Amino acid sequence: MKFGYFDDANREYVITRPDTPLPWINYLGCQAYFGIISNTAGGYSFYRDARLRRVSRYRYNNVPYDLGGRYIYLRDDVTGEFWSPSWQPTRNDLEGYTCRHGLGYTIIGSRYSGIEAHSTYFVPLDEDLEIWRLTVTNRRSQPAYLSVYSSIEFCLWDANDDATNFQRNFSIGEVEVEDGAIYHKTEYRERRNHFAYFACSRKTEGFDTQREAFVGPYRGWEKPLAVERGKLSNSVAHGWAPIGAHHVKLELGPEETQEVIFLLGYHENPQAQKFDPPASQTVNKKTVKPVIAKYLNFAEVDAAFENLRQYWDGLLAVCQVETPDVHTNRMVNIWNAYQCMATFNMSRSASFYESGIGRGLGFRDSNQDLLGFVQMVPARARERILDLAATQLPSGGAYHQYQPLTKRGNNDVGSNFNDDPHWLIVGVAAYLKETGDWSILDEPVPYDNAPGSEQPLYEHLQRSFQYTLDRLGPHGLPLIGRADWNDCLNLNCFSDTPGQSFQTTTNKEGKVAESVFIAALFVLAGRELAEIARRRGRTDEVQRYLAAVARMEDTVREQGWDGEWFLRAYDDFGRKVGSKECAEGKIFIETQGFCVLAGIGLDDGRAQAAMESVAKHLATEHGIILQQPAYSKYYLELGEISSYPPGYKENAGIFCHNNPWVMIAETQVGNGDRAHDYYARINPSAREAISELHRCEPYVYAQMIAGRDAPTHGEAKNSWLTGTAAWNYYAVTQWILGIRPTFEGLEIRPVVPKSWRGFKATRLFRGVTYNIAVTREGEGNQVALEVDGEPWEGTVVPAPVKGQREVTVEVTLK
C-alpha cells in the first residue's frame, strides 16, 4: 500500500494522506541553518549544531508522535471553527491533503471548509533563516473572514540542557517584541551574542510569546486557547517556555488568494554591538532588520526559491542515468544523491531517530559518507577531510566523534575504535580520485587540534596505516579495540551492569580479540595508500605498504577463512566469531562483503564461495541479514550485538549499510544479476508498494530493516542518517553501472543484469561532461570503448585536455 507517489519531473515525493505509518520527513537548509520537517509540519530547526544552537524546541519520543513544529492555524471568524492545513496538530478531516517533499523544501496543504491553504517551507541559500510562505484561497461563493495564527516554540539553545536542566530554564527565557517581530533572546544578556526571531509580512492583530498564554493551561498544540478564543493576549515571556505566535486577519472574496510570509531566523551580532542603545540590555536589531525586510518581500522569496531549485539541479546534474529500471533511475538521479547530502550535513546527529544531542559527526561515518557526496561538493569535501583529520590522535587513532560547532573531538566517546583511522585513507582516496587535487595531501593538519602539531595530511594517512601494524593480535590480525565497523561487536567490553553504555564504558585493554573486518579494511586502505605513495614518488614506501597488505591477505586466508565463508573475528578468549563452530552467529555479512570488495579471495575461489554462502544463509526478500543464526541470548563476551532481540539492528537485522558491500563484491565476481537484485531488495522506491510494512519514507534509505528472525520482518527503522546512503550510491553508480573515478581518469566498466539491453548516463568529472551510452551485445561483462567515435584501449578515459568540455563514450558489453 502506498501513501503517495513519486513526482519525478518535479523531483518531489507527494504524500497524499497525512497519517503515514511514521512521520515522513525532509531537511530544510544545506549550509548553516537547518530544519527537519515532517509531512505534517512537525520538527525543529537549528543553526550549525543541533545540540548547541537549537532554535526551536522539540520533545522526542512524544506520544502521540511528532508534536511540536511549524504550526499554522486558520480560523473562520464567523463560526469560530479552526484547523491546521498541515493536519497536525488539530487533525481535522481535511480534503485534498498533500505534502510535497522536494529538494530542500516542503509544501504542505489541504482544503477545509472551502478554504484552500498551503505553506511552502524552505531555507534560502546563504541565509540563516527559514521562510514559511502561506497561500490561502477562498473557494467559497461567499467572502471569508479568517484569522491566521503562526506558532513556534523556542528552544533555549543547548538542546540537552533545555531537556534536562529545566529548574534553571524555567527562569531564564526572555523575549522582545518590536513592530510585530518577536525576538527570542534567552541568555543574550550574558554570554550569547545570538538571538532568534520570528517575523511576519502582515500587520499583526496581536502576538503571544508565553506558551501557556497561547495554548492554555493543561492544553497542547491541538487546541490552543488563544486560537479557540480568536484573540492573542500579547503575552511577554518571563521565564517558562517562550514561544512566538502571530495573529493576522484575512478577508478573502470568492476565488481570491492572499499570501503571508513568516520568517524564523537566527542572527549573530558583533560582540561590541550587542545592545542598542549600547548601555541598555535591548537587543541591537539594526543588523538584522535589513535581512528581515528583504525576506518579507514576495519577489525576494520567489527569487530565493528559484535559486534553491537551481542549486539542487546543479548538484544532481553531476550524475544522471537512464536505465531500464525506474527505481534505479529515481534513486540515483534524485533521492539517493539528495540523501547523501543530508548525511554530509548531519552525519548521524539530527533526524527523527537521532536526537541531535548525543552524537556529533562520526569519524568513520563522515569518511564513508564522502563516497556519496564528494562528486557534488568537492570543495566542502576537502574541508570536511581536513576537519576530520584534525581530530586524529598522534597515535594514528581517532576521536570516534566530534562536535560540528567546535570541531573538537568528543571525550565522552573517546577513541580506540580500531577501524576508524583507515576510513580516513578511504575518504581521502575517494577525494583524490574524484578531483585529482593532490595538493590536499600537503595541507598541514594538527593532531587532536593541538596547535604546533601540524603535519601534512599525507603523514596522517601514514599514521592511520601504521596504527594497525602497531596493534596486531595473536593470529596476526588487527586487534579490534572497542569495536570495528560493527559498533555492537564489543569483544573487550564485558558489561554486566544494567543500562551501562556499551559505547562509553571502560573496556578491557584487550590484547587478544581480533577483527577480520579490520584486516579487510586494512588491505583496501593499504592498496589505496600504496597507489597514493607511488604517485608521490615514494617508491620505498610503496613496497612497504604492499608487503604489509600481502602479509595481511595471507593472514586472512590462513586465519580468517572458515571453509565456506570468511570468519568475523576472534573474541577475548581467542575463540572464533562467525564460524560454523559457533552455536549462534555462524556467518556474518561484513567480512563476506568487505574481504571480496578489498580483492581478497578473487583468485582462489574464496570470493565466489563467500558469495554463495551469503546467498544461501543471509539473503532474504527484504535484504541481506547481518548474521545468522541470530543471538538468542546475551553473551557477555560479545556485547551489544547480543543485547538486541533477534532480527533487530546488529543482531541479525538487515543492516542496510553493509548490503552494498555484497553488491560490490558480486560485481567483482562478475554477477551483475545478483548485484542488482540485492540492490533492488532494499531500494526504498522499489519498496514503496509495501509502505504499510516498510513504514519509513519510500524516498530514502533507512539504517535497518527487521530481519527474518523478527516478528516484524520487512519493517524499516532509523531512516535518513545512515551510511547506507553513500554506500548504495557508490555501489550502484561506480560498480553496478560501473562509472568509476580512478586516479587516472573515469573508468567505465559496468556489471549490470543480463536482461538489460543497455543504459545511458551523463557524468560530470573534473570539469568534463561524459556522455555515456552502453549497449549490450553479449551476456558477459567484457567492455569495449569508443571515445568520440574512435576505438579506445582499456576502460579508463582520462579527463581530456583543457578546453574540451564534453566527451562521448560508447560502451559495448559482450
| Structural contact between residues 565 and 596, judged by C-beta atoms closer than 8 angstroms | no
Considering only 188, 312, 335, 485, the residue that binds ligand NOJ (CB under 6 A) is 485
Which SS3 state, helix, strand or coil, does residue 306 take? Answer: helix
Asked if 529 and 545 count as a contact pair (C-beta separation under 8 A), the reply is yes
Among 486, 579, 659, 781, binds ligand NOJ (CB under 6 A): 486
By beta-carbon proximity to ligand BGC, the closer residue of 128 and 369 is 369
**Footprint on residues 605-644 left by ligand BGC (CB under 6 A):** 640
140: left (phi over 0), alpha (psi -120 to 50) or beta: beta
Cell for 117?
A: 491553504
Please state the closest distance from residue 489 (CB atom) to ligand BGC, in A. 10
SS3 call for 511:
coil
Residue closer to ligand NOJ, measured from CB, 475 or 649: 649
According to the binding rule CB under 6 A, does residue 423 interact with ligand NOJ?
no
Our finding on whether 749 is near ligand NOJ (CB under 6 A) is no
Task: For residue 542, report the phi and psi dihedrals to the nearest 5 degrees.
Answer: -55, -50
466 vs 504 by CB, closer to ligand BGC: 504
CA distances from 203 to 24, 70, 207, 262 (A): 34, 20, 11, 12
Residues composing the chain: 814
Question: Would you count residue 243 as binding ligand BGC (CB under 6 A)?
Answer: no
Burial class (CB in 10 A: 0-12, 13-18, 19+), 300: middle
Residues 541, 519: Cα–Cα separation, whole Å? 19
Return the number of the residue (20 or 515) whose C-beta is nearest ligand BGC: 515
Residues 9-68 that bind ligand BGC (CB under 6 A): none
> Cα dist. 395→257, 391, 525, 529 in Å?
64, 11, 17, 18
Place of cell 553501472: 737
Closest contact distance (angstroms) between CB of 488 and ligand BGC is: 5
Nearest approach in angstroms of CB 484 to ligand NOJ is 8
Report the residue from 390, 488, 530, 610 that binds ligand BGC according to the rule CB under 6 A: 488
Among positions 562, 650, 666, 810, the unique one binding ligand NOJ when judged by CB under 6 A? 650
DSSP one-letter code for 684: T
Kindly determine how many residues on this chain lie close enough to bind ligand NOJ according to the rule CB under 6 A.
9
Tell me the H-state helices in 500-576: 516-535, 539-559
Residue 364: which of ligand NOJ, ligand BGC, none does it interact with, CB under 5 to 8 A by kind? ligand NOJ
- Closest to ligand NOJ by CB, 18 or 362: 362
Return the C-alpha cell found at 753: 543484469
CB-based contact 721:354 (threshold 8 Å): yes
* Binding to ligand NOJ, residues 290-349 (CB under 6 A): 348
Q: Which is nearer to ligand NOJ, 334 or 577 (CB)?
A: 577
Measured over the CA atoms of residue 339, residue 345, residue 348 and residue 354, the dihedral's sign is negative
Q: What burial letters (b/e) apply to 315-334, b meaning 16+ CB within 10 Å?
A: bbebbbbebebebbbbbbbb
Contact between 365 and ligand NOJ per CB under 6 A? yes
Task: Supply the DSSP string of 572-608, one letter for each residue.
Answer: TTS-EESSTTSSS--EEHHHHHHHHHTTTTSSSSHHH
Of 133, 21, 38, 46, which Cα lies nearest the Cα of 86? 38
SS3 for 476? coil
Which of 369, 650, 747, 810 lies at the binding interface for ligand BGC (CB under 6 A)? 650
Residue 362: name its binding partner from ligand NOJ, ligand BGC, none (Cβ under 5 to 8 Å by kind).
Answer: ligand NOJ
**Buried-exposed string 233-251: b where 16+ CB fall within 10 A, e elsewhere:** bebbbeebbbbbbbbbebe
Is residue 362 close enough to count as binding ligand NOJ by CB under 6 A?
A: yes
Single residue of 568, 586, 649, 717 touching ligand BGC by CB under 6 A: 649
Residue 485 interacting entry, from ligand NOJ, ligand BGC, none, C-beta within 5 to 8 Å by type:
ligand NOJ
Please, which residue, 11 or 348, has the CB nearer to ligand NOJ?
348
Q: Which of 369, 419, 420, 487 is catalytic?
A: 487
CB 231 within 8 A of CB 80: no
Catalytic residue list contains 487? yes
Please tell me whether residue 460 binds ligand BGC under the rule CB under 6 A. no
- Least distance to ligand NOJ, CB of residue 723, Å: 6
503 binds, among ligand BGC, ligand NOJ, none (CB under 5 to 8 A by kind): ligand BGC
Smallest distance from ligand BGC to CB 640, Å: 6
From the CB of 649, what's the least distance to ligand BGC, in Å? 5
Number of residues that bind ligand BGC (CB under 6 A): 6
List the x/- string, 363-392, binding to ligand BGC by CB under 6 A: ------------------------------
What's the gap between Cα 52 and its chain centre?
19
Q: Where are the beta strands (DSSP E) in 143-205?
A: 144-157, 175-178, 181-184, 194-200
* 364 near ligand NOJ, judged by CB under 6 A: yes
Report the run of H or E that residue 112 belongs to, with start and end.
strand 105-112
Which of 434, 487, 562, 572 lies at the binding interface for ligand NOJ (CB under 6 A)? 487
**Which positions from 497 through 526 interact with ligand BGC, judged by CB under 6 A?**
503
Residues recognised as catalytic: 487
Enumerate binding residues for ligand BGC (CB under 6 A): 487-488, 503, 640, 649-650
Instruction: Catalog residues that contact ligand NOJ under the rule CB under 6 A.
Output: 348, 362, 364-365, 485-488, 650
